[in-house]
Amino acid sequence: MKDMKFNYGDAVILGEIDATGNSIKRPGSVVAITPVETEQQTHAFGYPLGTVLYTVEFGDGSDQLVPEDALERGT
C-alpha cells in the first residue's frame, strides 16, 4: 500500500463545486481511512486499487468519503 498523505485527526480542506458552479472549500477532519486493497472494494467504492479514501467530518456534523487527491492540508 502506498504512503498515506493524511492521518486520523488531521485538518483537511475539501474543494467542491456547489450547485451554482462556484468553487467552495469545506474544512474538516479525517475520522477514518480506507485503503482500496481488493477487487471487491473497487466495486463497492467505485475507485481503483491503491486509492486511499478518507472519511472527513465537517463542522456541521456531516461526513463524506473522499479520495486522497480531493483533499488538501488544512490549518
Q: Is residue 56 part of a domain?
A: yes
Q: What value does the CA radius of gyration of the chain take, rounded to a whole number of Å?
A: 13
Q: Is residue 29 part of a domain?
A: yes
Whether residue 1 has pLDDT greater than 60: no
Q: Is residue 62 part of a domain?
A: yes
How far apart are the C-alpha atoms of 55 and 2, rounded to whole Å? 18
Number of domains comprising the chain = 1
- Each residue of 23-71: pLDDT tens digit? 899 999 999 999 999 999 999 999 999 999 999 999 999 999 999 999 9
| Residue 2's pLDDT band (cuts 50, 70, 90) | low
CATH number at residue 68: 2.30.30
- Sign (positive or negative) of CA dihedral 51, 20, 58, 71: positive
